Amino acid sequence: MRLSRTWSGCFRGSQTWIRYVGLTAAFVCAATANAATPIRLQEILAIRFTREAAGPAVMQAGLLNAQASFRVFDSQPVASGVDVPPDVIGRWLITGSTWFAYEVLGNDALANFVIGSPLIFVGEQNYFPVDVASDARPPPGDMVNLSTRAVLAAGGDPVIAGFVVSGGRRRILIRGVGPGLLVHGVATPLPDPRITLFASGSSQPILANDDWSQSTDASAIEAAALTTGAFPLAEGSKDAAGLVKLEAGVYTVQVTTNGATGGTLLIEVYAVPDRPRPDWQ
Does residue 35 have a pLDDT over 50?
no
Domain boundary among 132, 166, 197: 132
Q: Can you give the residue range of the structural domain that contains 125?
A: 15-132
Q: What is the pLDDT of residue 177?
A: 97
| Cα–Cα nearest to 48, from 247, 275, 263 | 275
With a pLDDT cut of 70, the percent of the chain lying above it is: 82
pLDDT grade, residue 154 (50/70/90)? confident
Q: What is the pLDDT of residue 112?
A: 92
- Element containing residue 10 per DSSP (H, E): none
pLDDT average, residue stretch 228-237: 92
pLDDT average, residue stretch 197-204: 92
Q: What is the pLDDT of residue 30?
A: 42
Amino acid identity at 234 = A
277 in a domain, yes or no? no
Same domain, 178 and 115: no
Q: How many CA atoms lie within 13 A of 38 on its CB side?
A: 6
Backbone angles phi, psi at 59, to 5 degrees: -100, 120
pLDDT average, residue stretch 126-136: 91
Same domain, 114 and 165: no
Please state the pTM of the whole predicted model: 0.52
How does pLDDT run across 55-106, given as a tens digit for each residue? 789 999 999 988 888 888 889 999 888 889 888 999 999 998 888 888 888 8
Same domain, 65 and 151: no
Does residue 18 have a pLDDT over 50?
no
Number of independent structural domains in the chain? 2
- Element containing residue 28 per DSSP (H, E): helix 18-34
DSSP class per residue in 71-115: EEEEEEEPPTT----GGGTT--EEEHHHHHHHHTT-TTTTTTEEE
Q: What is the pLDDT of residue 143?
A: 64
The residues near 137 (Cβ < 8 Å, ≥ 6 apart) are: 40, 66, 111, 112
Backbone angles phi, psi at 227, to 5 degrees: -65, -40
Same domain, 91 and 153: no
Does residue 230 have a pLDDT over 60?
yes
Does residue 259 have a pLDDT over 60?
yes
Q: How far apart are CA 23 and CA 17, in angstroms?
A: 10
**Is residue 220 packed enough to be buried (19+ CB in 10 Å), middle (13-18) or exposed (0-12)?**
middle
Q: What is the pLDDT of residue 34?
A: 47
Count of C-beta atoms within a 10 Å radius of residue 8: 6
140 in a domain, yes or no? no
Amino acid identity at 258 = N
Does residue 17 have a pLDDT over 80?
no
Same domain, 59 and 124: yes
Which is more confident, 153 or 37? 153
7 in a domain, yes or no? no
| Greatest extent of the chain over all pairs of C-alpha atoms, in Å | 72
Q: What is the pLDDT of residue 139?
A: 66
The mean pLDDT value of the chain amounts to 82
Same domain, 198 and 232: yes
Does residue 45 have a pLDDT over 70?
yes
Same domain, 168 and 225: yes
